[in-house]
Chains A and B, each alone.
Chain A
């Protein structure tokens, strides 16, 4: 696998939307009453969009994986009344929620191996916002997601009638969004640094193996690599993201291990990025993610340690793009940003970083 080193963007970006833009546009559509179908590679965050939007819109979430549900779970079942003269529809519990309260109905894997019965049920949900006689709450919205046909996932083409009822978005693999998401959601800093250094081709590579890298499998890996001995990490990674990615990650860990964040922040050890290892993008990413992850594990820094951190950010040869990357990871720590703002050497550094950006706008 040929990899680009030091790249945050990748030619693998396939014309779709990044995660944040996709989420925002989907929300605008849903709030306008338009149902949306998001397609993307497996594990790139389609379900996460549904979860986040339910939170942002302050409505409940019903997650329906069509391929794993019996059509009756979706459309309900008819049963005879007491006089056995009429059939009444018994609604599934999710329908009761969608009727009684604002709900985001998420039809996941809508183009997986679903039957015509599934599609017929989905058609009524999407088009008429009801199931049988049960009409949804006016603020209930419908979002669907599906995989791309080229992903070796089993895909059933949607009927044109159903497809035409959706607004369509394509979600692309987006390293930057995922690293931001990972920073906020506790993904292991070694993985975030690795993905930042290697770009989206390492974040997603459906290479035909059983285990392959995707945002979902990296998240899976993140949950376990902190629980096993260092010599087991490669095996665990192989199980989650495949042998090729695990081998590359192993090499990355060797670089990562050369950085001692405690010595840098606690004792003020200097790092020179203008020569030797420091010139290597991989080492720069390793240093930045190692230091920022270590700081994130602390609950406070002394004034001297804060100055040492600023000294690291001001290291010789560390380009502004790396300074900004490190600061972005640090700034979201609620206890740290006030400390940095109150530190004169940080203000001086920040003023210099702003001046460089300002020049680019003036140009």
Chain B
């Protein structure tokens, strides 16, 4: 039996790369009032998924883990807020992809 946390992480990353990256629009915003944060709008392109429109906030200086407005991001402490939307955002942006290493230091 594989370690549960590692299994959960692998599932989450697979979903991010398979479901989110190809099927969601990820748009970056740099809010003027928050120099240390970067916002990403993550919106599904599928017509049936009208509710799949979330905001991922990334710390520019890696001072805190990413945060997402989706239920999974705020509700599951085990992976520290790394929902599939946050993982997809980080994986797509070389500037911030280093932050994903925290996921692999938990297993």
Contact = CB atoms under 8 A, between A and B. Distances in A.
Contacts of B14: 361
A181 interface: no
B94 interface: yes
Contact of B101 (A18, A338, A353): A353
B1 to A, nearest CB: 6
B4 A21 contact: yes
Interface string B82-107: 00000000010010011111101100
Contact of A354 (B1, B3, B101): B101
Given A342-B61, A348-B98, A355-B97, A324 B104 contact: yes
A20 B4 contact: yes
Nearest to B91: A358
Contacts of A347: 62, 98
B63 interface: yes
Given A18-B1, A18-B3, A342-B61, A351 B98 contact: yes
A294 interface: no
Nearest to B14: A361
A344 to B, nearest CB: 10
Contacts of A351: 94, 97-98
Given A324-B105, A327-B105, A20 B3 contact: yes
A78 interface: no
Contacts of B104: 324, 353-354, 357
Interface string A339-350: 001100011101
Nearest to A17: B1
Contacts of A355: 97
A328 B105 contact: yes
A328 B6 CA distance: 14
Contact of B105 (A24, A331, A358): A331
B105 A341 contact: no
A362 B62 contact: no
A342 B62 contact: yes
Contacts of A348: 98
A116 B100 CA distance: 56
DSSP majority for the A interface?
helix
A327 B98 CA distance: 13
A346 B100 CA distance: 13
B3 A21 contact: yes
Count chain A CB atoms within 10 A of each CB in B17, B63, B100, B105 and give the residue with the most.
B105
Contacts of A341: 61-63
Given A328-B105, A341-B62, A342-B61, A361 B100 contact: no
Contacts of B61: 341-342
B13 interface: yes
A354 B98 contact: yes
A20 B100 CA distance: 23
Contacts of A21: 1, 3-4
A305 to B, nearest CB: 20
Contacts of B4: 20-21, 24
A342 B104 CA distance: 18
Count chain A CB atoms within 10 A of each CB in B3, B5, B100, B101 and give the residue with the most.
B101
A355 B90 CA distance: 11
Interface in B19-67: 61-63
Contacts of A346: 98
Interface string A296-324: 00000000000000000000000000001
A331 B10 CA distance: 20
Interface of B: 1, 3-5, 10, 13-14, 17, 61-63, 91, 94, 97-102, 104-105
5 nearest A-B residue pairs (beta carbon): A350-B98, A351-B98, A350-B101, A341-B62, A347-B98
Given A358-B91, A358-B100, 8 more contacts: A21-B1, A328-B105, A338-B63, A342-B62, A347-B98, A353-B101, A355-B97, A361-B17
6 contacts: A20-B5, A341-B61, A341-B62, A354-B97, A358-B91, A361-B17
